[in-house]
Amino acid sequence: MTAGEPPVADEPVALPVSESRVLHEGRVLDLVSETVDLGVGGRVTREFVRHPGAVAVVALDEQGRVLLLRQYRHPVRAYLWEVPAGLLDVPGEPLVDAARRELAEEADLTAGRWDTLVDYYTSPGGSDEALRVFLARDLADVPEDARHTRSEEELGMRTAWVPLRDAVQLVLGGAVHNPSAVAGLLAAQAAQAQGWAPLRPADAAWVR
CA 16 to chain centre: 29
**129 is annotated as an active-site residue:** no
Nearest to 171 by CA among 157, 156, 158, 188: 188
- The DSSP symbol for 98 reads H
Task: Quote helix, strand, coil % in the chain, to nearest 5.
Answer: 25, 40, 35
Q: Which long-range contacts (CB under 8 A, 24 or more apart) does 166-174 make?
A: 167/66, 167/68, 170/81
- Backbone phi and psi for residue 152, each to the nearest 5 degrees, phi listed first: 55, -130
Catalytic residue (one of 34, 93, 105, 154): 154
Q: How many CB atoms lie within 10 A of CB 116?
A: 22
- Backbone phi and psi for residue 86, each to the nearest 5 degrees, phi listed first: -170, 170
- The DSSP symbol for 173 reads T
Known catalytic residues are: 154
